[in-house]
């Protein structure tokens, strides 16, 4: 290997990532025994599924670190812009009512072409 060359994988692609954080009404809508919170979570998951099925989103992942500040993340296909992801996230029912807030960033990952979420 050339000592001046960088060890960068050749299959890198730019993806847009949405990071979801607890919003101002997070506690109010997190008890899944509460029918309103359960219904909101169902709508949120339906939105994710619709994004995946429409070829916009690759995956969504809840973050399970106890006490962490990050609630979940979603990775979107390279053809989906930061502006489009921002619009998608603003339409999410859980964001709209304040259960979550979000940030959108672009990042390079090795190709995620083989990742397939199944419902």
- Where do the structural domains in the chain lie, given as residue ranges? 12-110
Mean pLDDT, rounded, for 65-86? 95
Contacts for 110 with CB less than 8 Å, ≥ 6 apart = 9, 11, 12, 13
Contacts for 7 with CB less than 8 Å, ≥ 6 apart = 1
Higher pLDDT, 119 or 57: 57
pTM of the model: 0.90
Q: Place 6 in a pLDDT band, splitting at 50, 70 and 90.
A: confident
What is the CATH class of 12-110? alpha beta
Q: What is the pLDDT of residue 61?
A: 97
The SS3 of residue 5 is coil
Contacts for 84 with CB less than 8 Å, ≥ 6 apart = 16, 56, 76
> 100 near 94, Cβ under 8 Å?
yes
Contacts for 107 with CB less than 8 Å, ≥ 6 apart = 14, 15, 17
Q: Place 3 in a pLDDT band, splitting at 50, 70 and 90.
A: low
Q: Is the pLDDT of residue 2 over 90?
A: no
């Amino acid at each position: 290997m050339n000592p001046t060359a960088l060890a960068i994988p050749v299959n890198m692609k730019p993806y847009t990532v949405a990071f979801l954080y607890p919003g101002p009404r997070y506690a109010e809508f997190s008890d899944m025994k509460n029918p309103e919170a359960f219904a909101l979570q169902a709508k949120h998951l339906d939105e994710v599924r619709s994004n995946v099925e429409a070829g916009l989103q690759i995956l969504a992942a809840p973050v399970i670190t106890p006490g962490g500040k990050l609630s979940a993340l979603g990775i979107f296909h390279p053809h989906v812009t930061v502006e489009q992801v921002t619009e998608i996230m603003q339409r999410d029912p859980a964001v709209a009512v304040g259960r979550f807030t979000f940030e959108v960033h672009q990042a390079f990952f090795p190709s995620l072409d083989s990742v397939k979420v199944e419902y």
